[in-house]
Amino acid sequence: MTIFQKLDKWLIKVLRHKSDTPEELEQKVYLVRNGIMASIILSSLVFVPMMIYQKFHLLFLASLLVLAIIITDGLLMIIKRGIKWFLYFYYGGYIILCTCIIMILGGLPNSLGVWGGAFIVFMHSLAVKDIRIVIVNANIYLGGLVAIVLLYPILVPINEWTPEINNLLFTIDEIWMCLFLVKSFYDSIVVRTNEAKRKAEHLQKLDLLKSKLYANITHEFRTPLTLIRGNAEEISEHQNGETIEKAKSIMQSSDKILFLVNQMLNLSKVEEGRVPLHYVQTDLISFVRLAVGSFQGFAELRKIRLHFEPQSPQLIMDIELEKLEESLSNLLSNAIKYTHERGDVFVSLRLLNSGYSKEKQVEITVRDTGIGIAENELEKIFIRFYRVEDNRFPYREGTGIGLTLVSEYMKLMKGSVKVKSSYGKGSEFIITLPVTHNAEFEEVVPEKNKPLHKEEPRNFNYPADDGIISHPRLLIVEDNPELREYLVRLLGNEYQVLTAENGIRGIELATEHIPDIVLSDVMMPGKDGFQVCQKLKNDFRTSHIPIVLLTARADTESRITGLERGADAYLTKPFNKRELQICLHNILVQRETLRLKFNQVFEKKMDEQEHGLNGKFLEKVISLLEKNYKNDRYGIHHLYSDLGMSRVQLHRKLTALTGQSASNFIRNFRLQKAKKLLLETNKHVSDIAFEVGFSDASYFSKSFIQEYGMASTEMRKFFSFSH
């Protein structure tokens, strides 16, 4: 810490008053600190020569200037409160004192440079930014100067005065005043710089808060959009005629709002600096051709000719597919919207050399014959939310987000975007990207006829298979009551539905009822969907339950996080209801396949079993049965107690994994052991029955026939005959 920082810290402590604003306290510290410095400099530079030359009369006059500073600073330290009275007294009193001393010395020619001190004080008063203080001190300064000039003929220099002393002291006086002025101006610059820095930081924080605010608001748009679109779909399925057309119009409008919501969220993520880049190495020409082709229908609808003009047939390079796709979509969409009928839009692509270096660049140009952009607007079009207003053109919809995203994405990809335009003749947007070959090669093949610029709802034309399981149990975890009610209406005919209003309650219900599948939101109070997913997947009682996350967080990072926590699927709001139904159905189909696999658990070796939590659970069950199957009293209550589960939890989990209830699982385990003894030993059937835990031989025989389709004696004869 420097000496000035220590001095300022001490002065803040001494001068602080409870009524002070931060600006007033800072002003007090600044004035007192400069007063102390001025006193020290004046004393060291002026007093020493006067003592050497023994000019005690002049020493007394100089002491008055120092005392004036010390007394006013001391009064401020004692009284503390207020600053205005101090400024009037300090500035005005010091100028009057300088005027009197000059008159005593004999006028300006004999003033030793004292009037320079009055000038410094007057200039100091300008920094206060108080017009009344400036006016008062200006009048005092001018009045003193006029008085000195008018009274000069009658002023008498002191007897001790000589030209040599005057020159020496004038020079010393001017030196310390120059040093003082330099320090004052430096402090003023530092203060203004710090103030500008504080304002910039404040504006940056404010802008960040605004970005977070509209990002959060935009997230909230997704839930009502889901309800709007879902209800519109429901209406279109049960009505006909004009009602269907209106419902389709509602769905189209909700899709359009979703597109804008996604753009706002993307811009928010870019501004927060949390946009990951995922490059793949692929053919840029093919990718751009597909992007242009996806707009062919839109261009034909507007009666506009769309051209693609690549310089070469192929260009393999690293591409950030998602960002480049969205950038091209924005440029193409604008070009088509702002071009008159029978106009043209050209997309060209050529390879460039970057100056004299070996680095190559590629240039993608989107040029139109549309209305163009005025020259004074060109520098503003990439500013967030800025829109060019032109009443000549009917298609003026937009938010001012698209071009901002293009600009920000190009910066992220170490490229650039620039624009050329002639008002009334058309515009040309030029994207420049570096050509690199660092990513893994991947052949990008978009879905046929799927526009790259807009996420369309997918249509599923194949029916759900209802034969796998009758009314499986579904747990819906969603904090929005309207969406929860809509999901119950949508899925209630196919599932036994349980609902939870938050993540904590969802975990409780999942653990208690062991549902067949869980459908959970992500952004919820208590525990979010990621935490719900992680908790259920790490609990051996619920680890087998498939979980589908349904959320407004559509970014790739959130999707990856959900899958890492164990989610089986990740759907974004607003969702297509048929897609949701098929997704749930297909997951249950997969679980049925897994169940068939686990159902063969008795016939597999232990090292062949799945080693996840579900496999470990079955290993533990089999291990307990291996130890206790001979005990005819060892039953379900012993098993779930040893496992640390409830009877319901054991039953639901075993049924979900193997398709067998807990009692059937224990019985079939004993029957497998009996079959092995039957085929490998000559023991009597009744002895085998008692050995594997059946206390009733007739019940054993009945169960054996039910499981294997033949009596135990017949099986022994059959296998003996076969061998």
Most confident stretch, 81-90, 93-102, 267-276, 411-420 = 411-420
pLDDT-based confidence at residue 133 (cuts at 50, 70, 90): confident
pLDDT-based confidence at residue 389 (cuts at 50, 70, 90): low
pLDDT-based confidence at residue 607 (cuts at 50, 70, 90): very low
Percentage above 90 pLDDT, the chain: 11
> From start to end of 311-425, where are the E strands?
316-320, 344-353, 360-368, 416-422
Q: For residues 149 and 266, which has the higher predicted lDDT (pLDDT)?
A: 149
* 47 Cα distance to chain centroid: 65
Give yes or no: residues 713 and 608 share one domain.
yes
pLDDT-based confidence at residue 456 (cuts at 50, 70, 90): very low
Question: Is 442 inside any structural domain?
Answer: no
For residue 147, give both structure tokens: 């008085």
Closest CA to 125 of 141, 108, 114, 113: 141
Give yes or no: residues 393 and 497 share one domain.
no
Give yes or no: residues 619 and 677 share one domain.
yes
Average pLDDT of the segment spanning 648-654: 76
Give yes or no: residues 305 and 364 share one domain.
yes
Last residue of a domain, one of 545, 560, 587: 587
Average pLDDT of the segment spanning 57-70: 73
CB neighbourhood size of 462 (10 A): 6
Give yes or no: residues 608 and 575 share one domain.
no
pLDDT-based confidence at residue 218 (cuts at 50, 70, 90): low
Instruction: Render pLDDT for 299-356 as a digit per residue (tens, 0 to 9).
Output: 888 889 999 999 888 899 999 988 898 899 889 988 988 888 889 999 999 988 755 5
Q: Is 720 exposed, middle or buried (0-12, 13-18, 19+ CB in 10 A)?
A: exposed
To the nearest 10 degrees (0 to 180), the angle between helices 56-79 and 22-42 is 160
Question: Is 372 inside any structural domain?
Answer: yes
The pTM (predicted TM-score) of the whole model is: 0.43
Give yes or no: residues 398 and 533 share one domain.
no
Say what the pLDDT of residue 1 is. Answer: 44
Q: State yes or no: pLDDT of 267 exceeds 70.
A: no
Give yes or no: residues 611 and 567 share one domain.
no
pLDDT-based confidence at residue 477 (cuts at 50, 70, 90): very high
Q: State yes or no: pLDDT of 199 exceeds 60.
A: yes
Say what the pLDDT of residue 509 is. Answer: 92
Give yes or no: residues 147 and 34 share one domain.
yes
Give yes or no: residues 360 and 489 share one domain.
no
Give yes or no: residues 627 and 574 share one domain.
no
Alpha carbon distance 666, 63 (integer Å): 108
The full DSSP string for 320-340 is: EHHHHHHHHHHHHHHHHHTS-
pLDDT-based confidence at residue 447 (cuts at 50, 70, 90): very low
446 preceded by a cis bond (ω within 30 of 0) = no
Helix (H) or strand (E) holding 116: helix 114-126
Question: Is 218 inside any structural domain?
Answer: no
Q: State yes or no: pLDDT of 100 exceeds 70.
A: yes
Closest CA to 565 of 544, 538, 586: 538
Question: Is 198 inside any structural domain?
Answer: no
Give yes or no: residues 379 and 516 share one domain.
no
Average pLDDT of the segment spanning 518-533: 86
Average pLDDT of the segment spanning 250-278: 72
Instruction: Identify the domain containing residue 95 by its residue range.
Output: 3-161
Average pLDDT of the segment spanning 92-105: 84
Question: Is 623 inside any structural domain?
Answer: yes
User: How many domains, in total, are found in the chain?
Assistant: 4
Q: State yes or no: pLDDT of 43 exceeds 80.
A: no
Give yes or no: residues 582 and 612 share one domain.
no
Q: What is the mean pLDDT of the chain?
A: 76
Q: Is 615 exposed, middle or buried (0-12, 13-18, 19+ CB in 10 A)?
A: middle
